[in-house]
Amino acid sequence: MTNVIAIANQKGGVGKTTTAINLAGALAEEGFRVLCVDMDPQANLTAGLGINLNTVDQSMADVLADGRASIEQIILPTETPGIDVAPANIDLAATEGELFTAFGREQTLRDALEGRLDNTYDFALIDCPPNLGLLTVNGLVAANNVIIPVQTQYYAMKGLNNLVKVINTIRTRLNRDLRILGLLPTFYDGRTLLARDMLDELRVIFDRHNVDGHVDMLYQTRLFYGRLT
């Protein structure tokens, strides 16, 4: 079965999209087939994988909004062998508003992916937007695992507790299979005292929430690969 991994943090600029692109590349180099799912209206993942946004006729907005398209219909190949993308565009911003009145609104993405990827992809990486809205919730409900990139700066740490609480709530009520694959420190500069202090604080948060033994501190792609395979 396809291993579906959400990459989430409600703070912007912490490296979610960069993590998704580099993890996809590392997995593809090892021979795995990877689908990148762009759930951010800013479409940075789509553009970062070399897709011209002006050529995107159908996007995740069409998949999520009343099923105007299936996931298979919108997938585009990238220039990197083994990596495809389900693209996003600005229409996703309006789609989030439409989901508020939809039945089963938190499970729309899971329903769209279920049973459609297993024979084609080994991994699906979901790049969530920088908030805790319905698009992010949909990504977490659809995933088996979540990676949380955390910038080693003071303000980036403040919202981590809230994110972990949301993830635990989703695991309790909507997706019992969801687990936190790891906390990923980003933008770390070991030469600065602040960065070292923030890394220590991240370890404290990690220990506080690692009640079920599911959370790890992740530092490099090779460790990702070891955990994923």
Tens of pLDDT, residues 67-105: 789 999 999 999 999 999 999 999 999 988 888 877 788
β-bridge pairing 34-38 and 123-127: parallel
Work out the pLDDT band at 223, boundaries 50, 70, 90.
very low
Over residues 142-156, mean pLDDT = 84
- pTM for the whole structure: 0.86
Q: Express each pLDDT in 120-136 by its tens digit.
A: 999 999 999 999 899 99
What is the mean pLDDT of the segment spanning 38-66?
94
- Write down the pLDDT at residue 89: 93
pLDDT the model gives residue 226:
44
Give residue 106's pLDDT band: very low, low, confident or very high (50, 70, 90).
very high
Mean pLDDT, residues 197-208 taken together: 67
Does residue 159 surpass a pLDDT of 60? yes
> Residue 219: is its pLDDT beyond 50?
no
How far are the Cα atoms of 38, 81, 93, 98, 156 from residue 107, in angstroms, in the given order? 16, 30, 17, 14, 28
pLDDT (0 to 100) of residue 205: 62
Q: Which is it for strands 34-38 and 83-86: parallel, antiparallel or unpaired?
A: parallel
Separation CA 91–CA 113 (nearest Å) = 20
Long-range interactions of 197-206: CB distance < 8 A, separation 24+: 198/152, 198/153, 198/154, 198/156, 198/157, 199/152, 201/157, 202/150, 202/152, 202/157, 202/160, 205/157, 205/160, 205/161, 205/164
Contacting residues for 207 by C-beta, under 8 A, at least 6 apart: none
Q: Are strands 76-77 and 83-86 parallel, antiparallel or unpaired?
A: antiparallel
pLDDT at 217: 47
